[in-house]
Amino acid sequence: MRLALLADLHANLAAVEACLAHAAARGAEGHAFLGDLVGYGPEPAEVLELVAAHAARGAVVVGGNHDAAVVDGRTETMDPAAAEAVAWTRARLPEPARRFLAELPLVARREGALFVHASADAPRAWTYVSDPLRAAQSLAAAEATWVFCGHVHVPALYHLTAAGRAAHFAPVPGVAVPVPPHRRWLAVVGSAGQPRDGNPAACYALFDAAAGTLTFHRVPYDVRGAAARVRAAGLPERLARRLEHGK
């Protein structure tokens, strides 16, 4: 099965739709959504409707820290722009959409793979897997061949060495990377809705289980239009500029 992996959608419908269309053109047969479906962006209800439709067809969906904050209203660890976006989202989401977020698991497993928004060793702590040490900790806790996560907003791939350390690999967009099952792998798939690596193109990854490969993709979309909708919604200006500059 070819599995499209999307994380950090952040209520950016145009970016999510662009990634899904790109994945469909490359034969995606399944989907996994790795949390932070909402927050920052102006289209939370639309994105949740799209994700819920995929979930009804068998997609994996796990929750992220922005999803949890929208449910419980706790934003004390967030910066002011993120907290304002959470409050904005809470005021506009209908009850069924809130219930969908509230019922999301933090971890899911399927056929040798573990899906989580942040780190598998403490999913609710929202630890950023941003270096080899944290990648090794997540891999040690996961007890899975492949760990797929988000949260960091910058794509990265790690594998566990014979010495028990995690080695970092910076993926090249569009180039399939062998991820055979005799090793253990952790992929940060990047952000579909709010990239932060200086490239505003949407980001996702395609896992081909039969071929044992993982391909990270960048997908251009109407970034200016998305930023304009952030401004029109009255969300913080910083969030629009972040979309435009990809950081």
Give the burial class of 73: count Cβ atoms within 10 A of its Cβ; 0-12 exposed, 13-18 middle, 19 or more buried: exposed
Taken in order of first residue, the domains within the chain and their CATH numbers are 2-245 (3.60.21.10)
Query: What pLDDT digit, counting tens, does each position of 89-106 carry?
Result: 999 999 999 999 999 999
Residue 224 has pLDDT above 90, yes or no: yes
Q: Is 126 helix (H, G, I), strand (E, B) or coil?
A: coil
pLDDT, tens digit, for every residue of 39-73?
Answer: 999 999 999 999 999 999 999 999 999 999 999 99
pLDDT at 164 over 90: no
Smallest CA-to-CA distance from 39 within 11, 62, 73 is with 11
Q: pTM of the predicted model, to two decimals?
A: 0.97
Looking at residue 202, its pLDDT comes to: 98
Q: Vertex 38, ends 42 and 87: CA angle to 5°?
A: 70
pLDDT reading at 174 higher than 90:
yes
